[in-house]
Amino acid sequence: MRTAFILFVVFILSSVAGPSAQAQTQGQAWVQVVAQPDLQQAEASVRGYAQSFQNVAGFALPSGWYAVVLGPYSPDEARATLLSLRAQGAIPADSYLADGHDFRAQFWPVGASAEPVAPVDTAPVLTTPIPAAPVTTAAAEPLPGAGLPDETPTEARAAEAALTMDDRQELQRALAWDGFYNSIIDGDFGPGTRGAMAAWQKAQGADPTGILTTAQRKTILDGYHGDQAALGLQTVADADAGITIDLPMAMVGFTSYAPPFARYDEKAGSGVQVLLLSEPGNSATLSGLYDLLQSLAIVPPTGARTMNERSFDITGTDDTRHTYAHADVVGATVKGYLITYKPQMDAQMARVLAAMKASFHSNGTQALDATMVPLSAAQKQGMVAGLTIRKPVMARSGFFIDAGGDVLTTTEVLNDCSRISFGDDHTATLAYRDDALGIALLKPQDALSPMAYAHVATTAPQPHSPVAVAGFSYAGALMSATLTLGSFDDDKGLNGEADLRRLTMSALPGDAGGPVLDAGGALVGMLLPRATDPGKVLPASVAFAAGATPIAAAVAGQGAILAAADPQPALAPEDLASLGAKMTVLVSCWK
């Protein structure tokens, strides 16, 4: 108890003595992670951080609060550590750099020397715990001189009055960078700026006067400039794209033009990529660009999307990347930007994205010309403007069965999908599946009105009658369904299965799920995937379909009613192909 009391007296005396020699060592910096209003809470915080970090320190502040910091580091090391730990989520997002100017008595680690401390990698910080009871008693007594600011509000306002317009705007940018200010950068310290200053002061544990002292301005500006230096934020004026924007040039570098994109690819494995979006056009062009971006592999399908006639915003997130894109119709052009990065960089990239949004500007009518950089045939394969297109893990055929846009397809396409779509990327939900029949019923997320849908044949075709299947034989390589001709052989399977229809037809895997039509265009069945039985290999021309009548009975219980077909004369091949293409859709399974 006596020892604890002596330690407390030493602590009080060192507070009166002013800033600690350790904190004032030239060329050193700290990462301040938290400030607490009393010593007891500060002790609890510092002990918590000491479980993860070996270089935790604690200092009293002039305001009467207590800072918990990591360090000391060199200024460059401190900036790098701040950015790294923020990105990892290991420290609070509002942690910042401190130069030690405001540090007074050191309360952690106990017994720390008043002499300057060498960098942490050569002199590990001691973590000897202090007895709990004496600390609690000491915390109840205010420190002599606690709460005295380094400048009075009058002195702070006088120092502020000497700032140039550039200085004032830079301070607003720093407040915006830290998330406290979200208005125009005009150098006018009105209610919005004053409120931001007060909020920043409160977050640091200082009196929220709304007037930053000289030391406080230095702290926030040092942090802002340090972060900008680490990210390499620079204003880029791309004359060909007609865009000016702030980009993290320490992480990306210009690579090439691939209209409608100006590509800024990652540097040194940063995991960051930026595209400037630029092309002549109008609202229709904007809509096309919106669809194009969502087909790219760098834009995950999950995330918020908003679009109107003048602009769009796309957010995409998955386990491997986060992406944000924005574009506007500006005069006779469409201009915008896209940034994609690793998920663990969220905290860091939030500031980059804020800077990009604030600085984005269209420079007149200049836009990227689609003919300026032609791609080779090899480059175009599976790519758009040199960027890989996102591809489904499996694609099969399906067809509309009613006027509401319900789609029937094969269960083969449903294996381990995080998302199912059909047609022009219409998201679908699985309403019903029958594994015995091999059929699945999909319902569109949005209301649809198909050009045509299947009608069930009321009688089975005669043996050897002509039939055809409409399907995406090449899994989407062609824009429309292909018609494959064949013949109807039997209204049951080889083992007498009543639900099967046996066909002679040279279909491909992508045709599975497509409608099998008779000569008049009525539905005979749904083509099934080719069976894989290692003990039995059937001729390549033998195919099977799930019968239309069993299908209609199965889905009727789900509220999907298949209409009966009226007797029709045989259609010309081109008319049958047109009918099949109108009712058939590509069904895609996405991870």
Give the SS3 label for residue 154: helix
- What are the pLDDT digits (tens) for 37-63? 788 788 888 888 887 888 999 988 877
Better pLDDT: 582 or 386: 582
Residue scoring higher pLDDT (135 or 526):
526
Q: What is the pLDDT of residues 559-569, one digit of tens each?
A: 899 999 998 89
pLDDT of res. 231: 85
pLDDT surpassing 60 at residue 15: no
More confident residue, 374 or 97: 97
pLDDT at 111: 60
Question: What's residue 388's pLDDT?
Answer: 63
Query: How far apart are the C-alpha atoms of 308 and 314, rounded to whole Å?
Result: 12
DSSP state of 528: P
Q: Model confidence over 191-224: pLDDT tens digits? A: 999 999 999 999 898 899 999 999 999 999 998 8
pLDDT value, residue 268: 85
Which residue stretches of 389-540 are H helix? none
Using CB atoms within 10 Å of the CB of residue 434, give its burial: 0 to 12 exposed, 13 to 18 middle, 19+ buried.
middle
Q: Which whole number is the average pLDDT over 216-240?
A: 89
d(CA 454, CA 545): 15
**What number of other Cβ atoms are within 10 A of residue 106's Cβ?**
24
Q: What is the pLDDT of residue 61?
A: 84
Residue 198 and residue 208 in contact, taking contact as beta carbons nearer than 8 Å:
yes
At residue 383 the predicted structure's pLDDT band, cuts being 50, 70 and 90, is: very low
The predicted pLDDT at position 381 comes to 46
DSSP string, 283-305: HHHHHHHHHHHHTBTTS-S-S-E
Whole-number Å distance between alpha carbons of 413 and 439:
10
Would you call 333 helix, strand, or coil by DSSP? strand
pLDDT > 70? residue 304: yes
What pLDDT, on a 0 to 100 scale, did the predictor assign at position 1?
40
- String of b and e for 392-422 (b: at least 16 CB within 10 Å)? bebbbbbbbbbeebbbbbbbbbbeebeebbb
Query: Any idea how long the chain is?
Result: 591
Strands (E), 74-230: 96-98, 106-108
Q: Which residue type is seen at 65?
A: W
Handedness of CA 106, 111, 112, 115 (dihedral sign): positive
In 3D, which of 11, 4, 247 has the Cα closest to residue 132? Answer: 4
Where does the pLDDT of residue 390 fall: very low under 50, low under 70, confident under 90, or very high at 90 and above? low
Q: What pLDDT score was predicted for residue 387? A: 63
- Kindly report, residue by residue over 493-551, the tens digit of the pLDDT: 999 999 999 999 999 999 999 999 999 999 999 999 988 777 778 888 999 999 999 99
Tens digits of residue pLDDT in 422-451: 987 788 999 999 999 999 999 998 888 899
Q: Which of 420, 395, 425, 477 is nearest to 290 (CA)?
A: 425
- pLDDT value of residue 175: 92
Encoding tokens for residue 410? 């094969």
Beta strands in 364-459 (DSSP E): 383-384, 387-388, 394-400, 407-410, 419-422, 426-434, 439-444
**Are 408 and 422 in contact, with CB atoms under 8 Å apart?**
no
Question: Is the per-residue pLDDT at 5 higher than 80?
Answer: no
- pLDDT band (50, 70, 90) for residue 20: very low
User: 75 preceded by cis ω (within 30°)?
Assistant: no
Average pLDDT over residues 13-30: 52
What phi and psi values does residue 15 have, to the nearest 5 degrees? -65, -40
Three-state DSSP class for 107? strand
Q: Is the pLDDT of residue 456 over 60?
A: yes
Per-residue tokens: 158: 């006088």
Q: Half-sphere exposure (CA, 13 Å, Cβ side) for 356? A: 23
pLDDT, average across residues 280-291? 92
| Average pLDDT along the chain | 83
Amino acid 141: pLDDT: 37
pLDDT of residue 576: 93
Q: Please, which pLDDT band fits residue 112 given cuts at 50, 70 and 90?
A: low
Q: Answer yes or no: is pLDDT of 385 > 70.
A: no
In this predicted structure, what is the pLDDT of residue 522?
96
Provide the phi-psi class of 145: left if phi over 0, else alpha when psi is between -120 and 50, else beta.
Answer: left
Give the residue-averaged pLDDT of 407-421: 91
Higher pLDDT, 2 or 504: 504
Return the closest-CA partner of residue 260 out of 336, 195, 146, 332. 336
List the single range of 35-49, 225-239, 355-369 with lowest mean pLDDT.
35-49
Confidence category of residue 134, pLDDT binned at 50, 70, 90? very low
Half-sphere exposure of 11 (CA within 13 A, CB side): 24
523-527 and 243-248 beta bridge pairing: unpaired
Residue 151 has pLDDT above 50, yes or no: yes
Beta strands in 168-310 (DSSP E): 233-238, 243-248, 252-258, 261-266, 273-280, 305-307
Note the pLDDT of residue 553.
Answer: 94
Q: How confident is the model at residue 26 (pLDDT cuts 50, 70, 90)?
A: low
DSSP state at residue 532: -
Q: DSSP string of 20-88?
A: -TTTT-TT-EEEEEEEESSHHHHHHHHHHHHTT-S-EEEEE-TTS-EEEEEEEE-HHHHHHHHHHHHHH
Q: What pLDDT shows up at residue 429?
A: 93
- Token duo for residue 433: 């599946």
Q: Above pLDDT 70, what percent of the chain?
A: 85
- Nearest 5°: phi and psi at 226? -65, -45
Least confident of 141-155, 187-201, 249-263, 501-515: 141-155
Q: What pLDDT is stored for residue 224 in this prediction?
A: 86
Distance between CA atoms of 226 and 224, rounded to whole angstroms?
A: 5
Pick the closest to residue 61 from 166, 145, 139, 173 (CA basis). Answer: 145
DSSP class of residue 172 equals H
Report the C-alpha gap between 209 and 23 in whole angstroms. Answer: 25
How far apart are alpha carbons 249 and 298 in whole angstroms? 20
Residue 129 has pLDDT above 50, yes or no: no
* Domains of the chain (ranges, CATH numbers): 2-139 (3.30.70.1070), 153-231 (no CATH), 234-384 (3.40.1000.10), 392-591 (2.40.10.120)
Instruction: Give the containing element (helix H, strand E) for 224.
Output: helix 214-231
Say how far apart CA 170 and CA 174 lie, in whole Å.
6
Query: With pLDDT > 90 as the criterion, what percentage of the chain qualifies?
Result: 49
Compute φ and ψ for 487, nearest 5 degrees: -135, 155
pLDDT at residue number 392: 83
User: What number is the average pLDDT over the span 272-277?
Assistant: 96
